[in-house]
Amino acid sequence: MNNKNIVVIGGNSGIGKSITEKLESEGANIFVYHRSGEGLEQLDVTARFESIEGLPEVIDGLVYCPGTINLKPFHRFSVEDFQRDYEVNVLGAVKVLQACLKGLKKSESASVVLFSTVAVQVGLGFHSSISSAKGAVEGLAKSLAAEWAPNKIRVNVVAPSLTDTPLASALLGNEDKKEASNKRHPLGRYGQAEDIAGAAVFLLSKDASWMTGQVLHLDGGMSSVKSM
């Protein structure tokens, strides 16, 4: 990753911060954007924009981290709840991708990493809004992987299960919740930001240069293994 120009949207906390730190340790040039955060470029992905200030001319990698966790019974969701999750997870990514496309095309081998959730693969109650939005992210990624392959732009998705980040703090707020979350995963623990960051950096690297249109399930086995 040495001297590669990597744009990280939502890179000042949680998974995004861990990705940024790992990329920096590998010598990449990082361009971090977040809705708020000292010393960072400001970008509200829910606002209207067609360009992003401060982008490098050549973009070798793009990571879109903003997401939502809005869980409740379906009958308690409003249409506005669904719209909000779609705005952040899907339309925000669309606007960022369009703003970065020119720079991605100038790279000899660019990589885009988007984020989904295990709840798209596995039916989970109370996840109807976020599952709908993240399912759209997976569809977007596969379509762009096909469309952008001639430009040597790879597009892949990481689909984690519950990960210990500020966004998930309410779900891991005490020891009982943490233990219950551990038991739901075949490998016996919920995720850490570092687990997800390693996968994202792999997808950005030349080691994944023959990989596109894929959804990488990083979920402690939840999507494919039934523990006894």
Give me the active site residues, please: 116, 134
For residue 125, count other CB atoms closer than 10 A to its CB: 10
Long-range interactions of 43-52: CB distance < 8 A, separation 24+: 43/9, 45/9, 45/10, 45/88, 45/91, 45/92, 45/93, 45/95, 45/96, 46/87, 46/88, 46/91, 46/92, 49/95, 49/99, 50/95, 50/98, 50/99, 51/99, 52/96, 52/99, 52/100
Return the closest-CA partner of residue 139 out of 215, 81, 208, 63: 215
CA distance 225 to 15: 24
Residue 72 to residues 14, 125, 126, 128, 186: CA-CA distances in angstroms? Answer: 23, 8, 5, 8, 24
CA distance 147 to 142: 9
Instruction: Check: CB of residue 140 under 8 Å from CB of residue 168.
Output: no
